[in-house]
């Protein structure tokens, strides 16, 4: 699985912070990058030749941006020589389907990218930060980790694992007195196209036979209504949270947005 990386050098007086962001091609992180790119140096890494061509064209007028192709599941050695002050783990995939019948390769893919590859990357970067004596790791999870969403079970479970690992790694880092901060960001539903694609992926196998054959039309209509009612169009609330998580001198451990989605997730958890 290929993802995008940005290495951002943030000019903070005499302190030049270098920030590595994964999954940087997609929607939620895009407004954050626009705020960072003006005065900073970026290494942009993409998963395919066509996307490399796209980002090169997108940032052709920025001499402080270099575009590179990289695979998070195979090519982590490519970051060995990078001096990283802040890591932002934003890479993720979402395969949907009932846990009663979803093909296991989709479950494996959710966990390979969202959990295992992120953990391998974090371990690699944490050691570099630990040796240096400081750093910050920002992990983008999801509010889906906190509530049971039908037909999105393997994705939600992978994000729940990522969130719990974030809590534990933060505590273990403090136990080491490492001066490496961990920050967890949990976005709700935002209209980037990611949610629509995630919901639709299950129909590739459900249309060829499913426990839910008689309910497929109802499921599709319910999802259309769900996204229409709950997807937030503006990305400002979550992009502000991610930006704070990256640049704040004293960040909170956990940021969640939008407010109503976070509140709903907390209410749901009272019943399960």
**Which pLDDT does position 11 carry in this prediction?**
47
**Which pLDDT does position 12 carry in this prediction?**
44
pLDDT in tens, 70-101: 788 888 888 888 888 999 999 899 999 999 99
Q: Is the peptide bond before 258 cis (omega within 30 degrees of 0)?
A: yes
Which residue stretches of the chain have pLDDT < 70?
A: 1-16
Q: 168-173 — which CB contacts under 8 Å span 24+ positions?
A: 169/122, 169/126, 169/137, 170/253, 173/126
pTM: 0.91
Distant-in-sequence, close-in-space partners of 139: CB < 8 Å, separation ≥ 6: 89, 118, 122, 162, 163, 166, 182, 183, 184, 185
Domain covering 2-269 assigned CATH 3.40.50.720 in the classification: yes
pLDDT in tens, 226-269: 999 999 999 999 999 999 999 999 999 999 999 999 999 999 88
Distant-in-sequence, close-in-space partners of 66: CB < 8 Å, separation ≥ 6: 42, 43, 44
**Which pLDDT does position 58 carry in this prediction?**
78
């Amino acid at each position: 699985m290929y993802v995008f990386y940005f290495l951002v050098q943030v000019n903070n007086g005499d302190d030049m912070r270098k920030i590595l962001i994964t999954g940087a091609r997609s929607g939620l992180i895009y407004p954050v990058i626009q705020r960072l790119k003006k005065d900073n140096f970026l290494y942009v890494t993409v998963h395919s030749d066509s996307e490399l061509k796209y980002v090169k064209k997108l940032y052709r007028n920025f001499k402080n941006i270099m575009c590179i192709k990289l695979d998070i599941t195979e090519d982590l050695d490519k970051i060995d020589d990078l001096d990283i002050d802040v890591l932002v783990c934003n890479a993720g995939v979402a395969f949907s389907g009932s846990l009663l019948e979803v093909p296991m390769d989709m479950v494996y893919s959710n966990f390979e990218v969202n959990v295992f590859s992120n953990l391998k990357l974090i371990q690699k970067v944490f050691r570099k930060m630990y040796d240096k004596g400081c750093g910050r790791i920002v992990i983008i999870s999801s509010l889906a980790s906190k509530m049971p969403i039908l037909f999105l079970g393997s994705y939600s479970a992978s994000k729940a694992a990522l969130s719990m690992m974030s809590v534990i790694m933060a505590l273990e880092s403090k136990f080491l007195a490492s001066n490496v901060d961990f920050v967890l960001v949990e976005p709700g539903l935002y209209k980037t196209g990611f949610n629509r694609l995630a919901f639709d992926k299950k129909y590739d196998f459900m249309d060829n036979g499913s426990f839910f054959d008689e309910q497929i039309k109802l499921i599709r209509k319910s999802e259309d209504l769900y996204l229409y009612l709950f997807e937030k169009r503006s990305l400002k609330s979550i992009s502000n949270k991610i930006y704070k998580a990256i640049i704040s001198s004293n960040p909170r451990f956990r940021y969640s947005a939008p407010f109503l989605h976070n509140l709903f997730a907390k209410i749901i958890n009272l019943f399960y």
